[in-house]
Amino acid sequence: MKIVINLILLLIAIALGFILVNSIKEPIAFQETKDKRREAVVNRLMDVRRAQEMYRDITGTFAPNFDTLKDVLQNGRFTIVKIVGDEDDPENPTVSRDTSYKPAIDSVMAMGLNLDSLAHVPYSNATFKIEADTLTYQQTLVSVVEVGTQWSTFMGKYASRKYARYDNTYDPGAVLKFGDMNSPKLAGNWESK
């Protein structure tokens, strides 16, 4: 009888030890995964933002979808205007303009942007949600864009709200994004913290 009780106590001690080790490992694994995946998604969003800025330099607006963005950056070109002279110079007000063009793909390659993977959210099979439009802001018509994805899209097994107990700012329904459909800003919401 004494041996049976000792065996039961030993099994309980092993189970408690296992629970204790997991209760320490899980928050660490969550935080490491969260930081690593957040960094990868932020880096991809910064690439998309650079691509959108190049698209705007070519077309004057932002791309409403990734197919259009990719097409213009592969086939479009930047207009470069060289101005010689100064209109405000009273002695020589003559100004000449020399216009040249540069293929956008050269800049894309120089920046190391991969147009094929730009739309894809790292650590998932999803693509970023993209919106672009124009709006009147302070009596001026401006182009606006917003690109992002929910945390639950790329957090894998940690996409549940229950993991907020390890980080009270974690919300898997929150969106990691740049831009704003209500104002002409391109800042990412990761940059304001």
pLDDT > 90? residue 71: yes
pLDDT at 193: 53
The pLDDT tens digits of the residues spanning 129-186 come to 999 999 998 888 999 999 999 999 999 999 999 999 988 899 999 999 999 999 999 9
- Cα Rg, the chain, nearest whole Å: 26
pLDDT per position as a tens digit, 95-111 = 778 888 899 999 899 99
Whether the full predicted model's pTM is greater than 0.85, yes or no, is no
What's the pLDDT tens digit per position in 6-37? 888 888 888 888 887 777 888 899 999 999 99
Per-residue 3-state assignment (H helix, E strand, C coil) for the chain: CHHHHHHHHHHHHHHHHHHHHHHHHHHHHHHHHHHHHHHHHHHHHHHHHHHHHHHHHHHCCCCCCHHHHHHHHHHCEEEEEEEECCCCCCCCCCCEEEEEEEEHHHHHHHHCCCCCCCCECCCCCCECEEEEEEEEECCEEEEEEEEEEEHHHHCHHHCCHHHHHCCCCCCCCCEEEEECCCCCCCCECCCCC
- 84's tokens: 């010689």
pLDDT tens for 108-122 read 999 999 999 999 999
Q: Tell me what the mean pLDDT of segment 60-81 comes to.
A: 93
- Say if residue 88's pLDDT is above 90: no
